[in-house]
Amino acid sequence: MPVDVILGTAGFGEHGRITTIPLAKEFLDTFKERGYYVVDTAFVYPGGFQGESETFLGILEVDKHRFLIDTKVRSFQANSHTPESIFLSVEEQFKRLKVSKVRTLYLHCPDRATPFKDTHKAMDDLYKHGKFERFGLSNFTAQEVEIFVKNAKENGWVTPTVYQGLYNLVSRLNESELFPVLKRNNINFFAYSPLAVGFFSNVRRGHEPGLGSRFDPNTRQGRRLRERYFKESFFDAVESIEKVGAKYGISNNSIALRWLTHHSELSDGDAIIIGASKIQQVKENLLSLSEGALPDEILDVVNDVWESVKSDAPAYSR
């Protein structure tokens, strides 16, 4: 099967970018009309206002409308992956989602204060009680992925079969270290932030998005994203991609998405997670994902851009 497309719902919620139930439904309907049925959410979405995204999806009863749900347990704090914390997280999340099981249940990032074996055993217990179909890891190092695979084999526990990670034109460090581990262990890769959270389309040297944007310097997320992307090499990269794209009438976003679909390390069974704050953006992104391979000249620029930003590229793990 080809690379799949998943709707990211990190923006769903009263404190997100899709702030009403009718608007969230419009996003889901637009996605479903084009033949896609998987939604991605998490305990922490949107942006620290935990539970709002899952609550929206539960109100809309997405599981009764053919949608499959991928979600992530409470993470990002020490001891958030103890068995007790995981069980409580899942209980709360399923209540919000109004479901008894999900397709994929992820550990959102490593909790290195809790032994991985304790965490893995808890996930295995949930799996054997039918709470999810696929065990996922996100933001772990390649070495940590191998630990989970080893623990699964030695103890007869559920094996991770999907990894969700950062991957786009200027974030490719996982290609050399992580991807070989995933391929060797038959673990699919689901790419988040394919458009670098809007950096390709909304940020230019001397013209920075301000208050209310994802790069708002007054928010924790905005400061983190500025630290990740606001570098001279990245500004140069955007200009280079925009220049060559203009020759062919192809936007930066379309180049980024078509590169992932046709020219990246993604393969059958992998997926691209797309999110947006406007319906038109979803339609445009889905159209780009349906289009063909890029011209060779654009590919040459994309590869040159990667070489120029590699030393500044963000880490794939946390």
| Rounded Cα distance, 281 and 201, in Å | 11
Residue 106 annotated as catalytic:
no
Catalytic residue among 36, 45, 163, 167: 45
Residues with Cβ within 8 Å of 241's Cβ and at least 6 positions away in sequence, in order, are 169, 200, 252, 255, 256, 298, 301, 302, 305
| Rounded Cα distance, 275 and 269, in Å | 20
| Rounded Cα distance, 104 and 261, in Å | 22
| Angle subtended at Cα 261 by Cα 224 and Cα 2, rounded to the nearest 5 degrees | 125
Report which of 301, 303, 207 is spatially closest to residue 250, judged by C-alpha positions.
301
| Rounded Cα distance, 40 and 67, in Å | 10
Residues annotated as catalytic are: 45
